């Protein structure tokens, strides 16, 4: 071997050792840098003409393991999702107050107990105005708190929308940076240079991205990475994708994407992990479910209070009873009743002057035991016309905007209008069957003596049957959004209301097997006129409403409002209830007494000291009610008080479960990160050993070069 060959070999060794020292020093300098992966040099024997010619530096690589990296990224996505949900549910739970406070006074659910306790006190002294005022104040406090919590939960959803928009912008910025670094990494890799600096920066950006959303990462042949979504959309590696988010106020929302190198319209995107998935779960599922269950509780609590109020009366009876907006025309609302109900007209002494019997089984009116007057529901307006004719001016009935009104009139020799009281439960007094429809008496169905009113139609039990006219304007449209179990948007479907027909015709249009809706699920009408949607296949499909341009009749409710279609409609109902303004202005109209239909002529049928109506209101919390499926919970039959207790526990359990899942996800992430760091992280002891080794190798190569120099000097001296 010539001296030049020896010199070349020694020089390559010195360069290799110097490179090793540089890599080692860089590792030691970044020992505390988060996400830094240690580097190592790859070297091989340099051969020339079959003989060893020194050492070659093949590459400088980061020490990584694809499996551990993938596990770490997935764990980060799961942790991000779990953390967001846990924080969101904890914030929502706080809205209900602390049930462990002194006597539960700080808990929302204690407000119900306050209502029943106040009515119980009023039952003992029904003539005491302060007790009546306190009872109404407690009802108002409960409903106001319900509205406050409903609004606050809705605001949490809006906050989630803002947070999603911020994170989408951050994701787009990360994708641009990751894709740009691919160019630097590829250039350095092809040129045989050191790309580890850019690779470390890119790795850190990918880690940030995985915290925000679930991604699939794969190495590129020439260096850098390719990032794809769960469906395989290219996010980075072939150019940066652009994500966007446009939240709908009424429908479930999803992230949209314009993939790299694509010029088409945005496409719906499924995200299964990361903070954005947690925010979408909160916004589309968790918060609406909680609000829906709250709305079901408030609606049923109000329903039971109104049920007690509508078989009772104030003393004296009010001169006018104005019902609630049923959302129906009168003939459709009245159809389906059977049995008998009574309207009593009371004088200034609270005695019954007139008694109108409505016999729905026979289809007749009778005033004061006189001859029956028939009515036909097949003739529009006939029920109201015959009712007013039978009353003969002693009272008048009208029906406007879905609401029935009965008003007492002045009849000689009286100088004041008659009071109006309904008796929806004559069976205990008279040998007759009480008139009911979907389990409600006539007065309760029309809300004639409600103490709680709603601006909507919850609990969405319309009483409509398959043979009733649907009443919606033909040609109007409603647009549904179908979403799969992962929150991915399947498609939007527009349905056009068919020509005037029955509810069955409307259901047939919605469930048309040749249409998209019919493929994914079926609408059905329950025994109480409630409309529900059920997925057709084993995979659950969520239905929400993008837009509803339908109207029932002139100025009537939309289809989604009347039937409670879509999470937005159902989730907001808890904020629509309030004390009947007529009663709120005058607590004397609180129905604390019961009407005595058998009272003799001239004898008061309503007694000032009668507290049976107030007692019925006090017992409303112990009345069994049928609760519809809401917020992921199934339909149940139980008392209002028990449902409230169970809901309180369910909210606490949901928050605790989310916290436990967050802790578990954080533990998995910590373990995955530790394992990744045990391989990729810098070990000072190992690096010091490497530094000593490279120092010795450098020194040895330098001594060899010095020896060759000495030999050259000796040879030159001999010449």
Chain segment 75-106, per-residue pLDDT in tens: 999 999 999 999 999 999 999 987 665 554 56
Report the mean per-residue pLDDT for the chain: 91
DSSP 96: T
pLDDT of residue 291: 97
Of 2-11, 84-93, 460-469, the range with the lowest mean pLDDT is 2-11
Query: Is 702 contained in some domain?
Result: yes
Going 133 to 136 to 137 to 138, the CA torsion angle's sign is: positive
Residue 176, pLDDT > 50, answer yes
- What percent of the chain has a predicted confidence (pLDDT) above 70? 97
Q: How far is CA 681 from the centre of its chain?
A: 42
Domain range spanning residue 8?
3-63+683-718
Query: Is 9 contained in some domain?
Result: yes
Query: Is 607 contained in some domain?
Result: no
Number of domains in the chain: 2
For residue range 492-543, list pLDDT tens digits in order: 999 999 998 999 999 999 999 888 888 889 999 999 999 999 988 778 888 9
Residues 413, 608: Cα–Cα separation, whole Å? 24
**Is the distance from CB of 486 to CB of 356 less than 8 angstroms?**
no
Helix, strand, coil percentages, rounded to 5, for the chain: 45, 20, 35
Find the farthest-apart pair of alpha carbons in the chain and give their distance in angstroms, rounded. Answer: 154
Query: Is 54 contained in some domain?
Result: yes
Please give the residue that has the higher pLDDT: either 534 or 20.
Answer: 534
Q: How many CB atoms lie within 10 A of CB 637?
A: 9
For residue range 566-583, list pLDDT tens digits in order: 999 999 999 999 999 999
Domain boundary residue, one of 534, 563, 592? 563
Please give the residue that has the higher pLDDT: either 468 or 36.
Answer: 468
pLDDT of residue 230: 83
**Is the distance from CB of 625 to CB of 639 less than 8 angstroms?**
yes
Instruction: Compute the average pLDDT of residues 223-240.
Output: 90
Of 238-247, 465-474, 540-549, 709-718, the range with the lowest mean pLDDT is 709-718
**Is the distance from CB of 16 to CB of 8 less than 8 angstroms?**
no
pLDDT of residue 426: 61
What would the two tokens of residue 620 be? 């409303």
For residue range 426-441, list pLDDT tens digits in order: 655 666 788 899 999 9
Residue 134, pLDDT > 90, answer yes
Residues 24, 552: Cα–Cα separation, whole Å? 77
DSSP 285: I
Query: Is 170 contained in some domain?
Result: no
pLDDT of residue 45: 86
**Is the distance from CB of 556 to CB of 550 less than 8 angstroms?**
no
What would the two tokens of residue 570 be? 């159902």
Residue 458, pLDDT > 90, answer yes
Helices (H), 470-512: 503-510
Helix (H, G, I), strand (E, B) or coil at 662: helix
pLDDT of residue 298: 97
For residue range 663-698, list pLDDT tens digits in order: 999 999 999 988 888 888 888 888 888 888 889 888
Residue 362, pLDDT > 50, answer yes
Helices (H), 213-273: none
Q: How many CB atoms lie within 10 A of CB 405?
A: 16
Query: Is 328 contained in some domain?
Result: no
Residue 601, pLDDT > 80, answer yes
Residues 365, 435: Cα–Cα separation, whole Å? 13
Stated pTM of the model: 0.90
Query: Is 461 contained in some domain?
Result: no
Helices (H), 416-528: 442-446, 503-510, 516-520
End-to-end CA distance of the chain, in Å? 21
334: left (phi over 0), alpha (psi -120 to 50) or beta: alpha
Domain boundary residue, one of 536, 563, 590? 563
Domain boundary residue, one of 532, 563, 594? 563
Query: Is 583 contained in some domain?
Result: no
- Cβ neighbours of residue 420 under 8 Å, at least 6 residues apart? 317, 318, 319, 320, 321, 343, 344, 345, 346, 395, 406, 407, 408
* pLDDT tier, 354 (very low <50, low <70, confident <90, very high otherwise): very high
């Amino acid at each position: 071997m010539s001296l030049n060959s020896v010199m070349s070999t020694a020089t390559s060794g010195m360069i290799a050792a110097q490179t090793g020292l540089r890599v080692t020093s860089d590792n030691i300098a970044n020992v505390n840098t988060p996400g830094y992966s240690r580097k190592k040099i790859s070297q091989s024997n340099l051969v020339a003409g079959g003989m060893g010619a020194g050492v070659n530096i093949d590459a400088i690589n980061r020490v990584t393991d694809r499996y551990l990296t993938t596990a770490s990224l997935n764990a980060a996505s799961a942790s991000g999702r779990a953390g967001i949900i846990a924080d969101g549910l904890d914030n929502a739970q706080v809205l209900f107050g602390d049930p462990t406070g002194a006597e539960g006074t700080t808990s929302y659910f204690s407000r119900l107990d306050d209502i029943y306790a106040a009515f119980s006190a009023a039952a003992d002294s029904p003539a005491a105005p302060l007790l009546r005022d306190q009872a109404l104040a407690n009802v108002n406090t409960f409903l106001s708190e319900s509205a406050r919590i409903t609004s606050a939960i809705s605001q949490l959803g809006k906050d989630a929308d803002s947070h999603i928009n911020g994170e989408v912008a951050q994701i787009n910025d990360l994708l641009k940076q990751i894709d740009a670094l691919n160019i630097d990494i590829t250039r350095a890799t092809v040129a045989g240079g050191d790309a580890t600096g850019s690779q470390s920066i890119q790795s850190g950006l990918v880690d940030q991205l995985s915290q925000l959303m679930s991604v699939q990462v794969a190495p590129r042949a020439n260096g850098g990475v390719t990032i794809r979504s769960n469906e395989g959309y290219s996010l980075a590696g072939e150019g940066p994708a652009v994500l966007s988010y446009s939240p709908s106020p009424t429908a479930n929302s999803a992230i949209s994407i314009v993939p790299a190198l694509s010029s088409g319209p945005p496409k719906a995107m499924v995200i299964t992990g990361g903070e954005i998935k947690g925010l979408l779960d909160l916004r589309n599922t968790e918060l609406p479910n909680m609000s829906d269950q709250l709305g079901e509780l408030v609606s049923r609590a109000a329903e039971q209070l109104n049920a007690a109020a509508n078989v009772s009366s104030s003393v004296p009876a009010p001169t006018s009873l104005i019902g609630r907006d049923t959302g129906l025309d009168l003939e459709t609302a009245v159809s389906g009743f059977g049995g008998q109900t009574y309207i009593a007209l009371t004088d200034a002494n609270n005695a019954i002057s007139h008694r109108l019997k409505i016999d729905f089984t026979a289809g007749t009116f009778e005033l004061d035991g006189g001859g029956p007057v028939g009515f036909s529901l097949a003739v529009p307006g006939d029920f109201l016309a015959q009712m007013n004719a039978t009353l003969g001016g002693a009272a008048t009935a009208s029906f406007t905007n879905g609401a029935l009104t009965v008003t007492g009139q002045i009849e000689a020799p009286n100088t004041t209008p008659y009071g109006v009281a309904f008796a929806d439960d004559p069976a205990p007094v008279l040998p007759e069957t009480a008139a009911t429809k979907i389990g409600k008496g006539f007065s309760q169905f029309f809300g004639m003596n409600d103490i709680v009113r709603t601006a909507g139609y919850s609990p969405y039990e319309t009483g409509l049957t398959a043979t009733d006219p649907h009443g919606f304007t033909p040609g109007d449209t409603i647009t549904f959004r179908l979403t799969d179990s992962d929150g991915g948007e399947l498609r939007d479907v527009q349905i056009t209301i068919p020509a005037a027909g029955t509810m069955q015709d409307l259901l047939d249009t919605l469930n048309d097997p040749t249409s998209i809706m019919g493929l994914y699920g079926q609408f059905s009408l329950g025994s109480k006129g409630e409309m529900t949607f059920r997925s057709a296949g084993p995979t659950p499909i969520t239905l929400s409403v993008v837009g509803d341009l339908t109207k029932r009749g002139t100025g009537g409710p939309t289809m989604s409002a009347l039937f409670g279609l879509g999470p937005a409609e159902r989730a907001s109902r808890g904020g629509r209830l309030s004390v009947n303004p007529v009663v709120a202005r005058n607590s004397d109209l609180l129905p604390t007494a019961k009407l005595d239909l058998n009272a003799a002529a001239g004898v008061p049928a309503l007694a000032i000291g009668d507290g049976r109506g107030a007692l019925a209101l006090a017992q409303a919390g112990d009345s069994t009610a049928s609760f519809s499926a809401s917020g992921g919970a199934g339909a149940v039959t139980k008392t209002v008080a028990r449902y409230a207790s169970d809901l309180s526990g369910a909210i606490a359990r949901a928050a605790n479960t989310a916290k436990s899942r967050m802790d578990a996800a954080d533990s998995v992430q910590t373990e995955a990160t530790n394992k990744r760091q045990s391989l990729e992280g810098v070990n000072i002891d190992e690096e010091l050993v490497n530094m000593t080794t490279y120092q010795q190798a450098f020194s040895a190569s330098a001594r060899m070069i010095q020896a060759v120099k000495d030999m050259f000097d000796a040879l030159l001296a001999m010449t």
